[in-house]
């Protein structure tokens, strides 16, 4: 294989994994580098946060997914630099050469310049975030179960979700169902009617990118389930247990033991780094403005795909949304383009060249509660149970691992039948670490001082939140 072109793919998410699949068994050497050893199905993170399914139901080891192909090598490590002149990436203190580079490092969350809010209101981008949200909520409910003070109990039973896009609506809908119904029999002392989920956003309505009719249906369903909607309200400050808002009626403050953040997205920092190294322009969200073939200007051998790129070469000139569908299609197209360029495939067009990239929009959907979803299928609007069935089928079809497909289906059916959640575990407490039992000093378990930051970038969004 030494004579074959070497394709390095950084990031095994939706886009990178698809590219990897498309290159498996083809006459190219592929190295997939990811800082995690698994592929994560982010659309179902809210189900991990609300204890509906567990971590391994929404994540699969990369080695099992693509590692068996003889031409694919998988390496664990975080790429921290790129040298376009030498055609090398830097990770784990190595420099690693490539002929073609596919960057698919995705995006993280942003607090719009208020990084100090991050530990107080965890985002929902990686498994650790979902675990943290679940841990905070369950710890608050456990304390409420033992609290006599009604004011304190009300506080402990309150959740604020910032951001009324699909992820925020899905999280809010699932948390209210959890608190009002799923744990009704388990927590004997809680006053379940006091459980509150407040969904906050600065925009006019929930699901602002979806059709107004679907947004109205989603809002009505959320309110019917008990979620309080606070729209047109800008978050001005977050302190422990408090969210300060500026709304149409002036300033107000919400108090809740659990605060979650689903409000802003920013491209992975590798985008800014590559922009620095190649002078590739970026948009306001830090996404690389790529050429029609996803290459970086002046570097036909470097491609940026998925959430990392802003792709404006569409019929209406509007950039493709940062969603799984575009990411997957970009991954497949770029893989085919590399094969076509290296003369490895003529199958795509029959002539050795490839038709330009065209995104096929299959629509968007959001699940708002049990048996209730809203779906926009290229102008066909579906709500309620029919929407939920479509949502469930689409997600089962889309999740890349068969074992996960089976376990998700089983857990959803179990939840439908019993209203119980199988993954309501409180994990991630260092004070419960096995080290305590084997005699480690507690001091050894205390958080260590932060090491000096290696880069002058703000904290990457997808770092685990402080416990
Ligand atoms: C909570 C949530 C819900 C969502 N719901 C939906 C939905 O319902 N429908 C939908 O279409 N989209 C949804 N999305 C968006 C969708 O998940 C993203 O658009 C998609 O994941 C983008 O794919 P990607 O391959 O670009 O990046 P990702 O899937 O994020 O993959 C990036 C990969 O790069 C790795 N990586 C990052 N930096 C480095 C580095 N420096 N070195 C090595 N590896 C690195 C990461 O570990 C990760 O594996 C949701 C997103 C979130 C967060």
pLDDT band for position 448 (cuts 50, 70, 90): low
Contact, 397 vs 409, CB < 8 A?
A: no
Catalytic residue among 151, 170, 301, 450: 170
pLDDT tops 80 at residue 431: no
Structure tokens at 397: 């079809």
Exposed (0-12), middle (13-18) or buried (19+): which is 193, by Cβ within 10 Å?
A: exposed
Placement of tokens 């809680």 in the chain: 190
Q: Which of 414-418, 448-452, 457-461 comes out lowest in average pLDDT?
A: 457-461
pLDDT value, residue 427: 84
With vertex at residue 459, the alpha carbon angle to CA 230 and CA 270, rounded to the nearest 5 degrees, is 110
Q: What is the pLDDT of residues 235-282, one digit of tens each?
A: 999 999 999 999 998 999 999 999 999 998 999 999 999 999 999 999
Exposed (0-12), middle (13-18) or buried (19+): which is 3, by Cβ within 10 Å?
A: exposed
Choose the CATH number for 6-35+77-109+266-341 among 3.40.50.300, 3.40.50.10490, 3.20.20.70, 3.50.50.60.
Answer: 3.50.50.60
Q: Which residues line ligand 1 (CB under 6 A)?
A: 10-16, 33-36, 42-43, 45, 78-79, 104-106, 124-125, 166-167, 268, 270, 306-308, 322-325, 327
Q: What is the pLDDT of residues 46-97, one digit of tens each?
A: 999 999 999 999 999 999 999 889 999 999 999 999 999 999 999 999 999 9
Structure tokens at 35: 């800082």
Q: What is the mean pLDDT of residues 140-153?
A: 92
Q: What is the mean pLDDT of residues 116-122?
A: 95
> Domain 115-263+367-418 belongs to what topology?
FAD/NAD(P)-binding domain (3.50.50)
Q: What is the mean pLDDT of residues 381-390?
A: 95
Do 6-35+77-109+266-341 and 115-263+367-418 have matching folds? yes
Task: Tell me the percentage of the chain whose pLDDT exceeds 70.
Answer: 90
Domain extents in the chain:
6-35+77-109+266-341, 115-263+367-418
Query: What is the overall mean pLDDT for the chain?
Result: 89
Question: How much distance in Å is there from the Cα of 180 to the middle of ligand 1?
Answer: 31
pLDDT tops 80 at residue 460: no
pLDDT band for position 379 (cuts 50, 70, 90): confident
Residue 128 designated active-site:
no
With vertex at residue 407, the alpha carbon angle to CA 402 and CA 409, rounded to the nearest 5 degrees, is 95
DSSP code at position 282: B
């Amino acid at each position: 294989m030494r004579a074959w072109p070497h394709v390095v793919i950084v990031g095994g998410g939706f886009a990178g994994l698809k590219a990897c699949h498309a290159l498996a068994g083809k006459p190219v050497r592929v190295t997939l580098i990811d800082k995690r050893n698994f592929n994560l199905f982010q659309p179902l993170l809210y189900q991990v946060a609300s204890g509906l399914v567990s971590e391994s139901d929404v994540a699969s080891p990369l080695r099992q997914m693509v590692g068996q192909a003889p031409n694919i090598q998988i390496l664990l490590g975080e790429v921290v630099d790129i040298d376009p002149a030498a055609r090398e990436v830097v990770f784990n203190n190595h420099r690693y050469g490539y002929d073609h580079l596919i960057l698919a490092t995705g995006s993280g969350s942003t607090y719009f310049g208020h990084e100090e809010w991050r530990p107080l209101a965890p985002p929902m981008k990686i498994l650790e975030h979902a675990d943290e949200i679940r841990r905070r909520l369950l710890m608050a409910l456990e304390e409420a179960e033992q609290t006599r003070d009604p004011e304190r109990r009300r506080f402990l039973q309150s959740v604020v979700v910032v951001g009324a896009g699909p992820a925020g609506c899905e999280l809010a809908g699932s948390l209210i169902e959890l608190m009002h119904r799923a744990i009704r029999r388990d927590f004997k002392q809680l006053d379940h009617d006091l459980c509150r989920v407040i969904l906050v956003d600065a925009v006019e309505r929930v699901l602002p990118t979806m059709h107004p009719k679907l947004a109205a249906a989603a809002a009505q369903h959320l309110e019917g389930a008990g979620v309080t909607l606070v729209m047109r309200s800008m978050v001005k400050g977050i302190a422990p247990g408090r969210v300060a808002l500026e709304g149409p009626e002036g300033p107000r403050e919400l108090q809740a033991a659990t605060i979650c953040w689903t409000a802003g997205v920013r491209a992975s920092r590798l985008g800014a780094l590559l922009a620095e190294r190649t002078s590739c322009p970026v948009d306001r969200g830090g996404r690389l403005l790529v050429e029609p073939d996803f290459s970086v200007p002046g570097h036909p051998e470097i491609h940026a795909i998925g959430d990392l790129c802003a792709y404006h070469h569409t019929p209406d000139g509007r950039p493709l949304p940062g969603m799984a569908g575009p990411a997957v299609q970009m991954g497949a197209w770029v893989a085919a383009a590399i094969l076509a360029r290296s003369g490895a495939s003529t199958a795509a067009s029959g002539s050795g060249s490839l038709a330009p990239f065209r995104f096929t929009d299959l629509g968007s959907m959001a699940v708002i509660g049990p048996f209730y979803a809203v779906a926009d299928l290229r102008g066909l609007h579906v709500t309620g149970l029919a929407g939920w069935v479509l949502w469930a089928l689409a997600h089962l079809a889309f999740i890349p691992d068969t074992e996960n497909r089976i376990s998700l289906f089983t857990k959803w059916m179990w939840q439908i039948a019993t209203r119980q959640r199988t993954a309501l575990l409180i994990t991630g407490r260092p004070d419960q670490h096995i080290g305590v039992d084997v005699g480690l000093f507690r001091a050894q378990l205390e958080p260590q001082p932060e090491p000096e930051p290696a880069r002058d970038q703000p904290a990457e969004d997808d770092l685990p939140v402080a416990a």
